[in-house]
Amino acid sequence: MNKPLRRVAIFCGLLVLALLVRVNWVQFVQADSLKNDTHNRRVAIERYSMPRGNIIVDGKPVTGSTVTDSGDFKYKRTYKNGKMWAPVTGYASQAFDANQLEKLNDGILSGTDDKLFFSRTVDMLTGEKQEGGNVVTTLNSKAQKAAFEGLGDKKGAVAAINPETGAILALASTPSYDPSTFAGNSQKDSEAFTALQKKNDPDEPMLNRALRQTYPPGSTFKVVTASAALENGLYDDVDSKTKSPLPYTLPDTQQPLNNEGNIPCENATMREALRVSCNTVFGKMSADLGNKKMMAEAAKFGFNNDKIDTPVRAAESVYPKDNRPQNAMDGIGQASNRATPLQMAMVASAVANGGKLMKPYMVEQLRAPNLNVVQQHTPQELSEPLSPENAQKVQSMMETVVQEGTGQSAKIPDVTVGGKTGTAQHGEDNKDNPYAWFISYAKTDKGTPVAVAVVIESSDTLRDDIAGGKLSAPIAKSVMEAVLQGK
């Protein structure tokens, strides 16, 4: 072979080699990135080419799929009672992607997850129509309905947990939205989605207040402060008098810490202080413990943890590193103290469960289209904020609050209910309507199946009538009753 031909042959060989390398690079190295590229329309077409699997509550789907009448996408998502379930399901939209359970479990629901490989292979061999798998939740439909209807036209949220397992039983947020209104890819869907954005609707109906919004927890946080006092040996008897002067001045200041009204708080016992909600007692308690010990106890309840995944990630609840006067205010749920409704349900849950905090979760199983279970959740202990002995003491105090104190509207006949009310200041110089809180649990001789947190962010109630015992406790009661009726 002469020299020019040899050069041409070598060059062509190098071109073929480069082509082979490139093909293998694209097929094996870049395959996933190309598949998941947002500009790859084929992925979206395939995703909506078959009915999407369902999100299941109490054995029944709260989602569905319907054939579209135009465009490249054959099926679009539908929702049953979408407004009630939106804080759980999230949305799946042909135009706007997905979020929450719809997004986190998209592989199962769309049938593309590797966990469904065997099921897909069988369907290909048998010629069966391919479908997505199902996501089985822990939610209780009666509890969710009680929470959603209890909130009504108020702005607020409810979170309910099974203290013994961590299973989330209700997750309601109002105002809400119907994901069906923008599940497609039309101009109408686009307009519906745009109208729900914060800049166009200041009430933020798409904000999941139960998981993603934090509030000052107000007096409900006194349960954590009481727990810290017991765990650190500041007090060991909830019926012995505390060293709590009246008036009480915040440390390093000349600023008095006031109570709500003329209530018996001077040297009150922990039980009495929680029953009537003494700011002076718990503010001084937090100051006596100090910021480090308060932060440590709050962390055991789940505060300052930015990875609470349900699997939808909750916003971080914060007990801050603070100076002495601010730490005293943090101890009564004010200052820079912030918590989600889920977090405060976790507080009630840990107390109710003998001091053990179970990790909250709302997906029980992932199932293939043939109903085979491809993943089963196992309850996990997250921490132990209280010893069993101290948990019993806090339970006793919370039960007094419901029997004789500010939480009496949460009483349920023949059921032991523990609770704590809270009215948290809001706005500069407390000029805005306060937040109304209530946390609670219900206990029977068969166990403690439910703990609840309710927060009302705003309502048409007169300012002087806004209180956790009046607004939030009745909602918590209805949620607890709904769970108990199913037992």
Q: Identity (one letter) of the amino acid at 78?
A: T
The reported pTM is: 0.90
CA–CA separation, 425 and 227 (whole Å): 23
Please provide residue 281's backbone torsions phi and psi, each rounded to the nearest 5 degrees: -65, -50
Q: Report angle CA 145, 150, 151 to the nearest 5 degrees.
A: 105
Residue 22 domain flag: no
CA 168 to chain CA centroid, nearest Å:
8
What domain count does the chain have? 1
**Does the N-terminal peptide bond of residue 247 adopt cis geometry, omega within 30 degrees of 0?**
yes
Please check whether residue 225 lies inside any domain of the structure.
Answer: yes
- Please tell me the predicted confidence (pLDDT) of residue 330: 98
pLDDT category, 463, cuts 50, 70, 90? very low
281: domain CATH number is: 3.40.710.10
Question: How does pLDDT run across 411-446, given as a tens digit for each residue?
Answer: 999 999 999 999 987 544 445 678 999 999 999 998
Tokens of 99: 């979020």
Would you say residue 18 lies in a domain?
A: no
Is it true that the peptide bond before 474 is cis, omega within 30 degrees of 0?
no
For the question of residue 458 being annotated catalytic, the response is no
The answer to whether residue 330 sits within a structural domain is: yes
* The pLDDT of residue 187: 94
- Checking if the pLDDT of 464 tops 50, the result is no
- Active-site option among 65, 219, 244, 478: 219
**pLDDT band of 462, cuts 50, 70, 90:** very low
Pick the range with the lowest mean pLDDT from 102-116, 197-211, 246-260, 394-408: 102-116
Quick one: average pLDDT of 28-33? Answer: 62
Mean per-residue pLDDT, 30-55? 72
Q: Which of 441, 82, 138, 479 is nearest to 311 (CA)?
A: 138
The confidence score (pLDDT) of residue 425 equals 74
Residue 21 maps to a domain: no
Which amino acid is residue 173, in one-letter code? S
Mean pLDDT is lowest, of 48-52, 230-234, 465-469, for 465-469
The answer to whether residue 89 sits within a structural domain is yes
What one-character DSSP code corresponds to residue 417? E
How high is the pLDDT of residue 112? 87
Per-position DSSP letters for 326-376, written without gaps between them: HHHHHTTT-TT-BB-HHHHHHHHHHHHTTTPEEPPB-EEEEE-TT--EEEE
Report which residue type is found at 274.
L
pLDDT (mean) for 162-171: 98
Per-residue model confidence (pLDDT) at position 41: 67
Measured CA to CA, the distance from residue 163 to residue 448 in angstroms comes to: 7
Does 261 map to a domain?
Answer: yes
Has residue 115 been placed in a domain? yes
Lowest mean pLDDT among 365-379, 402-416, 459-473: 459-473
Cβ contacts of 103 within 8 Å, gap of 6 or more: 90, 92, 97
Answer yes or no: is pLDDT of 466 > 60.
no
- pLDDT one-digit tens code per residue, 285-344: 999 999 999 999 999 999 999 999 999 999 999 999 999 999 999 999 999 999 999 999
For the cut 70, the answer to whether the pLDDT of residue 19 exceeds it is: yes
Is residue 22 predicted with pLDDT exceeding 90?
A: no
Predicted confidence (pLDDT) at residue 32 exceeds the cutoff of 80: no
What is the mean pLDDT of the segment spanning 264-291? Answer: 98
DSSP state of 430: G
Share of the chain above pLDDT 90, in %: 77
Under 8 Å between Cβ of 338 and 216? yes
pLDDT, residue 30, reads 62
Work out the average pLDDT over 103-110.
Answer: 95
pLDDT in tens, 73-88: 889 999 999 999 999 9
Phi-psi sector, 323: left (phi>0), alpha (psi -120 to 50), beta: beta
The parent domain of residue 331 ranges over: 42-199+206-487
